[in-house]
Structure 1
Amino acid sequence: MSATTTTLFRAARPVIFQQVATRTAFTTGRANAFRNFSQKAGRRYQSTAAPETAQVGWFARMWNSPVGFKTVHFWAPVMKWALVIAGISDFARPAEKLSLTQNAALTSTGLIWTRWCTIITPKNYLLAAVNGFLAIVGIVQCSRIGMYYRSQKNQPSTADEVKEQAKEKVEKVKDAVKS
């Protein structure tokens, strides 16, 4: 290379690097401007107040809540109240017609899920409440069944009653024959 070409490249080098640095700064600035715009794009203000002091309605908070109306965390407990209501309606049934295994399963389900609802994230207190009521209803029903079985255990069986009645009739017949 000749001396003039080398001098030309040396003279042009700072200009090229300056253009690259300016272009990089321009594109970076444009990216930052776009980022700032996109962060503010979703915000709408209904008043001149700052967004932190803006009042949000109850329905909007429930809709956007992690346990709000559009999540399973809301609808699972709402539907599970049907089990609690069915258990409460079984209070009117006689204890001999209730299933101990079914009520024991409802009790254990209620106890296990009540504990689990306080461990999970987000904490679902609505589901914990319905499971607590389910456990209470199950405990009451299981105690009713247990009391029924205990009362049946203390009473003589129907076969024993029939034997005693037969013995009494035999005694009456013997007394009638003797007299």
Structure 2
Amino acid sequence: MSSRVGFRFVNNARFAFRNASAPFRRPGAQGFRWQSTEAGAGGQQSTFQRLWNSPIGVKTVHFWAPVMKWCLVIAGISDFARPAEKLSLTQNAALMGTGAIWTRWCMIIKPRNILLATVNFFLGCVGAVQVTRIFMWQRSQSNSSLEAAKEIEHEAVDSVKAVAQETEGIAKKAVGKST
């Protein structure tokens, strides 16, 4: 008896999964859930209806993912005002890599998501600008610290020479007094 219950569950689950893929079929195909045959056959749809019924429309993640991801781009742009020493290299490198990878992926997937590709492209650009700023700042710091180390070295050499000259002078006076 329990095997029959499991068999019924599997069969019902198969039927549910087969019908769950219906919204992803192309419009006009038999079994498309949200569009009647009258609307697809010859009826004119308004712009809002086409946007609403589109496979990349307002009802799908294809629309809302780019809308939410623009927050990352805006946050990256607002970081342009921050000094480079306060920026994270790993975080901005991750943004740059994410933008590059997902821009390419958005052009491969079906349906092609131009909105998501656009936001990822700008995310990669913002990350690249920030990584460049960080590298330029680090290079200027290494050059300035090298120059600072050379200045400290010269100061130390000068002070050692001054101490040596004073010691020589004192030694000559001590030798001159003893003779």
TM-score by length of 2: 0.63
Residue aligning to 2:109: 120
Q: Could you tell me which residue of structure 2 aligns to residue 92 of structure 1?
A: 81
| Alignment match of 1:71 (pick from 57, 60, 65) | 60
Q: How many Å separate the matches in 1 of 2:122 and 2:136?
A: 21
**Over 6 Å off, 4+ runs:** 166-175
State the shift of 1:55 in Å: 2.6
CA pair 44-51 structure 1, distance change in 2 beyond 3 A:
closer
- 1:1-150 equivalences under 5 Å are 42=36, 51-52=41-42, 54-150=43-139
Q: Distance in 2 between matches of 1:69 and 1:161?
A: 63
Residue 116 of structure 2 aligns to a residue whose secondary structure is helix
Give, in whole Å, the separation in 1 of the partners of 2:79 and 2:163.
Answer: 48
**Offset at residue 108 of structure 1 (A):** 0.3
**Aligned residue-pair number:** 132
**Matched AA of 2:81:** A
Name structure 1 gaps, 5 residues minimum. 1-41
Deviation per CA, 1:79-125: give whole Å up to 9, x if none.
00000000000000011111110000000000000000000011100
Counterparts of 2:158 and 2:79 in 1: how far apart (Å)?
A: 41
Q: Percent identity?
A: 61
Judged with a 3 Å threshold, the aligned counterparts in structure 2 of structure 1 residues 60 and 91 are, in CA distance, closer, same or farther, namely same
Map 1:149-164 onto structure 2 (within 5 A).
149-156=138-145
Give the corresponding residue for 1:32. Answer: none
Aligned to 1:34: none
> How many Å separate the matches in 1 of 2:86 and 2:154?
28
Q: Secondary structure at the match of 1:118?
A: helix
Aligned equivalent of 2:8: none
Is there any run of 5+ residues in structure 2 with no aligned partner, and where? Answer: 1-35, 170-179
For 1:100 and 1:161, the matched residues in 2 are separated by 29
State the TM-score, normalizing by the size of structure 1: 0.63
Secondary structure of the residue aligned to 1:67 is coil
**Structure with greater Cα Rg:** 1
Q: What is the CA RMSD across the aligned residues, in angstroms?
A: 2.9
